[in-house]
Amino acid sequence: MNSKADNIVEILVTQEAVEKRVAELGEEITVAYRDRLPLLVGVLKGCTLFMSDLVKLIDTPLEMDFISLVSYGSMTRPSGAARITKDLDCVIEGRDVLLVEGIIDTGMTAGYLLRNLEARQPRSIRVCTLLDKPARRIVKIPIAYRGFEIPDRFVVGYGLDFRQIYRNLPYIGVLSDKITGLDRNAANRHSHRDSALTRRG
């Protein structure tokens, strides 16, 4: 099997830049929640590396929980329909919730998740995302803590995947269009590659 980095055409955010920014976010969140007991809710699976590093850099007591969902549609035509596959283990009513995402692009699935959690009556709910891709935004998402704003490229690494591969890259890299099937010349020939389940957004 080829190296996992062979199909990366550009390193968009280096490992060093990721580490520096995550530390800064940890400091910001520490200040904001100093007198509270925040519940960090990680959105699986894209948040895993980000959240793991982030919580170690938040210097105040906190709790953690995780939620997982699938969104329906293709990479190019998200439908906005979603379904929770792993719900929270704890009750969030009256809690200060910080939703931790690996990436927000269209905002459709993130919007669904926010509506679902807000209906459970937390005291507050904020969003923290490592990556923000505003060029694809359809639903406006109030992002309180943002790692990096990125262009409309298909990225992997640091928890983000393509068909479950590349999550363990220590940086954020742009995946070759020949792999994703998003290149213009191959779009029609390889349209069947678009899965019925698309990445969380």
Provide CB contacts within 8 A for 184, sequence distance 6+: none
The active-site residue, picked from 105, 132, 177, 183, is: 105
Q: Which residue has the tokens 């640091």?
A: 158
Which DSSP category does 176 fall into? P
For residues 17 and 175, give the distance between their C-alpha atoms in angstroms, rounded to a whole number: 19
Q: How far is CA 189 from the centre of its chain?
A: 29
Whether the Cβ atoms of residue 78 and residue 198 lie closer than 8 Å to each other: yes
Rg (CA), the chain: 17
Asked about 105 being catalytic, the answer comes back as yes
Other C-beta atoms closer than 10 Å to the C-beta of 20 total: 11
Query: Which tokens belong to 190?
Result: 């390889």
User: What string of H, E and C letters represents the secondary structure of 75-125?
Assistant: CCCEEEEEEEEECCCCCCCCCEEEEEEEEECCCHHHHHHHHHHHCCCCCEE
Report the chain's terminal Cα–Cα distance, integer Å. 29
Active site members: 105
